[in-house]
Chain A
Amino acid sequence: MKILQKIEDRCIACSACEMACSNAYFKVKDREKSAIRITEHGQDKRIHVCNQCGFCIDICPVMAIKRDALGVVRIDKKKCVGCLMCVGFCDASVMMQHDEFQEPFKCVACGICAGVCPAEALYIDKDAAQVPLEKVTFFK
């Protein structure tokens, strides 16, 4: 499946990815509105971004979260009722949310951030071996 891969050792925490992401989706340069987040504790840089595991798909009460043909987990904002359960239940805390928006948002592996990363710490992997976690059980 298609995933934004990260090489944290290379990250220089320049914030270029955060700015590019928020600018692409919300027309503003604000890391709080970015689907990718960088944290640093001294030399330790961390890149927080969705690995398309799909755990959130089963959490959603209105089935607004689905995996597309490329394997990317996407939120149907029209269906979303803004309960934020997916935010609280994301193991990696990468289902993002901002109080100005009704719906949460997440990385859709578009690659815009990879394109601007000066350290080549990000790249799109179209054929990642991630195991999908959703069960998508139907009972009928």
Chain B
Amino acid sequence: MEIKAMKEARTLLTAFDYEPAPLERGYTDRSLHIRLGENRVEARAVPALVREKFIGGKGYGLKLLWDAVKPSTRWNDPENAIIVAGGPICGITQYPGSGKSLVCTISPMTDMPIDSNVGGYFGPYLKFSGYDALEISGKSEKDVVIFIDGNSGRVTIEEAPLEAVDGHVVAEQLTEMYAEDEEDKKNISIICAGTAAEHANIGLLNFSFYDLRRQVARLKQAGRGGIGRVFRDKKIKAVVIRFRGTKGNLNKPADQSRINKAGIKLHRQIHDLDDAQCRMRQIGTANIIEVMDAYDLLPTHNYQYGSHPDTYKIASKVFIEKYTTQGMPDGCWYGCSLSCAKTADHFELKTGPYKGHKVTIDGPEYENAAGLGSNCGIFDPEIILEANFYCDTYGVDTISFGTITAFAMECYERGIIDKSHTGGLELTFGNAMAQLELLHQMSRGEGFGYHIGLGVRHLKQYFAEEFGADRAFLEDIGMEQKGLEVSEYLPKESLAQQGGYGLTNKGPQHDEAWLIFMDMVNNQIPTFEDKAEALHYFPMFRTWFGLMGLCKLPWNDTTPADNGMTDEPAKIPEHVQNYVDLYNGVTGASIDKHELIRQSERVYNFQRVFNIRMGKGLRVHDAMPYRSMGPVTAQEYLSRQERYDQQMKELIGVDPEGKSVEEKIAIVRAYRVDQYEKLTDAVYKRRGWSSEGVPTTAYLREIGMDLPEVLEVVTPLQA
């Protein structure tokens, strides 16, 4: 009845019929363009040059976005576009992690391109429906639902006044509405956001897939950078796709056999080894909560410290034993035997508009446990799950929300803000109910929660201008860079990871490089040149997942038994070869592992130049807040005094004896900032960039990213 009323309240704005283009060797060579407001829908051919230079996925997203916007374009301008694209490998079913969508837009957090990698079935279904990419620009006056029927070849835009906005509700409603029966529900995937995304710049996008066993539409998140904010600003309630007839060969690969071999081998490896390695099938990314704590890397109390005595309360086994239900495949696309997705079923909510509801919560991921939990001083697994649920359904990035709240809590604890600023909330570390209330406020666009939703960069300015806070101190402890909040690893003791966060295109997210163990624990990259090489190779290698529509996890969260015997264990050579085989197997090309990196270099540098075009992307934007590098406060120094004193003696060559804590903090700071600058020099050099971080024209020519529009941006900036 509810669905019937929703349907009756719909107004059709436009319908577009098309002949689904055949998929050949991973490509349809067609893109779908929707202009809201004007209600224009059109299909375009993807030019051969675009396919050659940009490959797919994030490459296509960035190229289409570049063409859509001007240097002056802000996130809420109508010309800003949201682009969703898989890549040539996206949609194969034989190799774990092959169903990812890449989403690009101009971010409300960073004012430059953001890209986010997300699971769920949308990316594969878009491709099977005839499109390598979907671009949505313009703005609607009223809320709309966009529907793509991939079998009949029809796109509709309808005003949809009655559907819910919160992710878990609208995903259920639309799955029910568009599926013919229970069996058909797996053929539906939905992109939606949530009510907080209407107010918070940290708004995210949910991508759904239907879980046949739990009989519920589950949500995976394109979390970073506020894409959901753009989505709701365009008045999109949801994009729905339906495709019936998924089989293992829809990408029409050139060599199915090669793909099958790689897939079966990896399935077998995961079957044999995962229980003893990362336990991705048992608990997923949350397996590292206690590991991070043990290595002093788990951010606690706004990244002041790396461990906490209460971490055992949120250790992975707590979630396994008490909350998550498992014992079955739990991938976010077919064929993912690594199955890192987890849910807590029948979880009864204690707060908010859905209080008393029993819900299915996708999580906890490591990032959620660390961001919502330890970083805010919260060690209650049920609160982490509840905050995780509300973040998802409201459309809030858990990482940014965790880091912002941790920052506000530290400001509160230090007396920089008080109850008069927080609307009466006692924002001390560990106050879980206050954290949840901030979320609920964010969904209503009210109170202090509204400010939290605008990010650390906003809060620094807000606290300084409105409450007279010391701006320099806020810059030190506010863990954002380029406008994006740092994800949940404490990088103080790993210079390479400081670079892994700081020297990134979109901001401090760990998807470019995670080098802490290589650097800090195993000491495999001791020199600046070693670190620079790693900060070239790994970001390029990982960029490639985004070009293909792949997940990073099956690369190094499972390893062959003999990996340790190879020449470069950190790269997992056998898996790199698998990826070469997958690409060649799908496309019929014959690239090697070096050309794989070259493909990424082109897109990575294009993104860097895109940032520069938007007025960012230079050395000054790559600086990191000092909290990420070393102890800002006396408490931090004293908590690890032995370590810092020893380093002062051995690395800096200064005797700490007789010096005050303040003097010692200053000495450590001068040294560590200098180390970061030296690292930046080495990395820029390795990446073919000037000392200001601008790709040189010679390098762009060498890698084949010397398109006229790219050279036009960088030529005036050549030293």
Q: Contact residues of A with B, CB < 8 Å? A: 58-63, 81-85, 87-89, 97, 99, 102-103, 135, 137-140
Q: Which 3 A-B pairs have the closest CB atoms?
A: A88-B267, A82-B248, A83-B335
Minimum CB–CB distance from B90 to chain A (whole Å) comes to: 14
**Which residues of chain B (550-608) have a CB below 8 Å from chain A?**
none
Asked if B271 is at the interface of the complex by the 8 Å CB criterion, the answer is yes
User: Is the pair A62, B335 in contact by a Cβ cutoff of 8 Å?
Assistant: no
User: Is the pair A84, B260 in contact by a Cβ cutoff of 8 Å?
Assistant: yes
How distant is the Cα of A139 from the Cα of B359 in the complex, in angstroms? Answer: 11
Take A88-B267, A89-B267, A99-B260 as given contacts and tell me if A81 and B325 are in contact as well, using a CB distance cutoff of 8 Å.
no
User: Is the pair B213, A138 in contact by a Cβ cutoff of 8 Å?
Assistant: yes
User: Is the pair A63, B213 in contact by a Cβ cutoff of 8 Å?
Assistant: yes
Asked if B266 is at the interface of the complex by the 8 Å CB criterion, the answer is yes
Q: List 13 A-B contacts (CB under 8 A).
A: A61-B334, A81-B335, A82-B93, A82-B249, A83-B335, A84-B93, A84-B260, A88-B267, A88-B271, A89-B271, A99-B256, A135-B327, A139-B215
User: Is the pair A58, B327 in contact by a Cβ cutoff of 8 Å?
Assistant: yes
CB-defined contacts of A103 to chain B, threshold 8 Å? 248
Interface flags, B360-398, vs A, CB<8A=1, else 0 = 100000000000000000000000000000000000000
CB-defined contacts of B216 to chain A, threshold 8 Å? 139-140
How distant is the Cα of A87 from the Cα of B95 in the complex, in angstroms? Answer: 12
CB-defined contacts of A137 to chain B, threshold 8 Å? 213, 325, 327-328
Take A58-B328, A89-B271, A99-B256 as given contacts and tell me if A83 and B266 are in contact as well, using a CB distance cutoff of 8 Å.
no
Asked if B322 is at the interface of the complex by the 8 Å CB criterion, the answer is no
CB-defined contacts of A83 to chain B, threshold 8 Å? 93-94, 248, 263, 334-335
CB-defined contacts of B248 to chain A, threshold 8 Å? 81-84, 102-103
How distant is the Cα of A138 from the Cα of B212 in the complex, in angstroms? Answer: 9
CB-defined contacts of B25 to chain A, threshold 8 Å? none
How distant is the Cα of A83 from the Cα of B249 in the complex, in angstroms? Answer: 10
User: Is the pair B329, A59 in contact by a Cβ cutoff of 8 Å?
Assistant: yes
Take A58-B328, A139-B215 as given contacts and tell me if A82 and B94 are in contact as well, using a CB distance cutoff of 8 Å.
yes
Minimum CB–CB distance from A13 to chain B (whole Å) comes to: 25
CB-defined contacts of B345 to chain A, threshold 8 Å? 139
CB-defined contacts of B93 to chain A, threshold 8 Å? 81-84
Residue of chain A at shortest CB distance from B266: A88
CB-defined contacts of B214 to chain A, threshold 8 Å? 138-140
Residue of chain B at shortest CB distance from A58: B328
Interface flags, B619-648, vs A, CB<8A=1, else 0 = 000000000000000000000000000000
Interface flags, B53-68, vs A, CB<8A=1, else 0 = 0000000000000000
CB-defined contacts of A84 to chain B, threshold 8 Å? 93-94, 248, 260, 263-264, 267, 335
Take A62-B186, A139-B325, A140-B215 as given contacts and tell me if A81 and B264 are in contact as well, using a CB distance cutoff of 8 Å.
no
Minimum CB–CB distance from A66 to chain B (whole Å) comes to: 13
State the interface size on chain B (CB cutoff 8 A): 35
CB-defined contacts of A89 to chain B, threshold 8 Å? 267-268, 271, 337
Asked if B72 is at the interface of the complex by the 8 Å CB criterion, the answer is no
> In the complex, given contacts A88-B264, A135-B327, what are 12 additional A-B residue pairs having Cβ atoms less than 8 angstroms apart?
A61-B329, A61-B335, A81-B246, A81-B334, A81-B335, A82-B248, A83-B94, A84-B264, A97-B260, A139-B214, A140-B215, A140-B216
Take A135-B327, A139-B325, A140-B215 as given contacts and tell me if A88 and B186 are in contact as well, using a CB distance cutoff of 8 Å.
no
CB-defined contacts of A139 to chain B, threshold 8 Å? 213-216, 325, 345-346, 360
CB-defined contacts of B215 to chain A, threshold 8 Å? 138-140
Which of B94, B214, B360 is the most central at the interface, judged by chain A CB atoms within 10 Å of its CB? B94
**Which residues of chain B (253-274) have a CB below 8 Å from chain A?**
256-257, 260, 263-271
How distant is the Cα of A85 from the Cα of B338 in the complex, in angstroms? Answer: 10
Residue of chain B at shortest CB distance from A95: B264
Residue of chain A at shortest CB distance from B215: A140
Asked if B247 is at the interface of the complex by the 8 Å CB criterion, the answer is yes
Asked if B306 is at the interface of the complex by the 8 Å CB criterion, the answer is no
Interface flags, B471-489, vs A, CB<8A=1, else 0 = 0000000000000000000
User: Is the pair B213, A85 in contact by a Cβ cutoff of 8 Å?
Assistant: no
Minimum CB–CB distance from B271 to chain A (whole Å) comes to: 5
Minimum CB–CB distance from B338 to chain A (whole Å) comes to: 10
How distant is the Cα of A63 from the Cα of B337 in the complex, in angstroms? Answer: 15
Asked if B331 is at the interface of the complex by the 8 Å CB criterion, the answer is yes
Residue of chain A at shortest CB distance from B269: A88
CB-defined contacts of B266 to chain A, threshold 8 Å? 88
User: Is the pair B327, A88 in contact by a Cβ cutoff of 8 Å?
Assistant: no
CB-defined contacts of B335 to chain A, threshold 8 Å? 61, 81, 83-85
Residue of chain A at shortest CB distance from B329: A61
Minimum CB–CB distance from B246 to chain A (whole Å) comes to: 5
How distant is the Cα of A99 from the Cα of B263 in the complex, in angstroms? Answer: 12
How distant is the Cα of A82 from the Cα of B248 in the complex, in angstroms? Answer: 5
User: Is the pair B247, A81 in contact by a Cβ cutoff of 8 Å?
Assistant: yes
User: Is the pair B329, A58 in contact by a Cβ cutoff of 8 Å?
Assistant: yes
User: Is the pair A87, B267 in contact by a Cβ cutoff of 8 Å?
Assistant: yes
